[in-house]
Amino acid sequence: MSGLAVVTGASRGIGRAVAEQLARDGYDLAVGYFARADAAQEVVATAEGHGVRAVAYQVDVRSPESCQLLVAGARAALGPVRAVVSNATGFGAEHPGLGTSLGVALGVYQEMFTARVGALLSLVDAAGADLDDGGRIVAVTSTGTHRHVPGYAPIAASMAAVESVVRYLAAELGPRGITANTAVGGVVDTDALAEITSDPERLKEAVRRATPLGRVGRAGDLAAVVGFLCSASAGWVTGQSLIADGGNALR
């Protein structure tokens, strides 16, 4: 596959691994980032090292207007958008230790919903007809959508909504030749773990023991799934939630 891929949350962790995977696969890149401009430029440089074009844009996925500006800027710089990867969480240090589901203010749920569902819809809407005849839409979620993870309710609820919206997009955009899928990760070893638990190492050890393949996920594991879903090989796959968790959900 080739053309322009827009990836949000692409300056670190899973999003960075996804951006670098798509660059290796031949996509030009719009690297969406929120606060790590230097890291985003590193991703741009890595992508260019793979022989593709890349630009970095600051984006706040909690703002539909910001998402639309990201796509418009990327299109003006690099041409039609052929893939949209909605990965950024809209969650950060301003929400440390979310606590119990009932202990979280309704506004936090609303903010997470806007950052996830709102961003996905805004990005796809802005891409518009660019995606026709072979375009790819991929949202990144986690297995927290169907199991209890302490302190994770607002994120899990917003991700579950994304998975539902993706199925609707697949049905509605399929006649235009567009696929829409979700890449669902288990626990992945990135610095974002510190934002949902006070003891990341304890969490990783528990996950390792409960995972048939015997380790915690790596960003590249999920990036490979996204790469597949954005490839020509996935042209007959749509409306699916593809889980990559080393078999952890089996136990």
Q: At the topology level of CATH, where does 3-250 sit?
A: Rossmann fold (3.40.50)
Share of the chain above pLDDT 70, in %: 95
Is the pLDDT at 92 greater than 60? The verdict is no
Hey, what's the torsion of the CAs at 98, 142, 48, 52, to 10 degrees? -140
Q: How far apart are the first and last CA of the chain?
A: 36
C-alpha triplet 22, 26, 28: angle, nearest 5°: 75
Q: For the packed helices 153-173 and 119-127, what is the interaxial angle rounded to 10 degrees?
A: 30
What stretches of the chain adopt beta strand conformation (E)? 3-7, 27-33, 54-58, 81-86, 136-142, 179-185, 241-244
pLDDT, residue 94, reads 55
Distance between CA atoms of residues 195 and 38, nearest Å? 21
Nearest to 140 by CA among 65, 64, 89, 81: 89
Distance between CA atoms of residues 194 and 204, nearest Å? 11
* Backbone phi, psi, residue 87, to 5°: -120, -35
Quickly state the pLDDT bin for 157 (edges 50, 70, 90).
very high
Distance between CA atoms of residues 142 and 4, nearest Å? 25
What confidence tens digit (pLDDT) does each residue in 174-232 have?
999 999 999 999 988 887 776 667 787 888 898 899 999 999 999 999 999 999 999 99
* Backbone phi, psi, residue 155, to 5°: -70, -45
Is the pLDDT at 132 greater than 70? The verdict is yes
Token pair listed for 236: 């007959």
pLDDT, residue 98, reads 64
**What count of other Cβ atoms lies within 10 Å of the Cβ of residue 210?**
15
Q: Tell me the whole-structure pTM to 2 decimals.
A: 0.94
What confidence tens digit (pLDDT) does each residue in 8-40 have?
999 999 999 999 999 999 999 999 999 899 999
- Looking at the DSSP bridge assignments, the partners of residue 78 are none
pLDDT, residue 148, reads 84
pLDDT, residue 195, reads 67
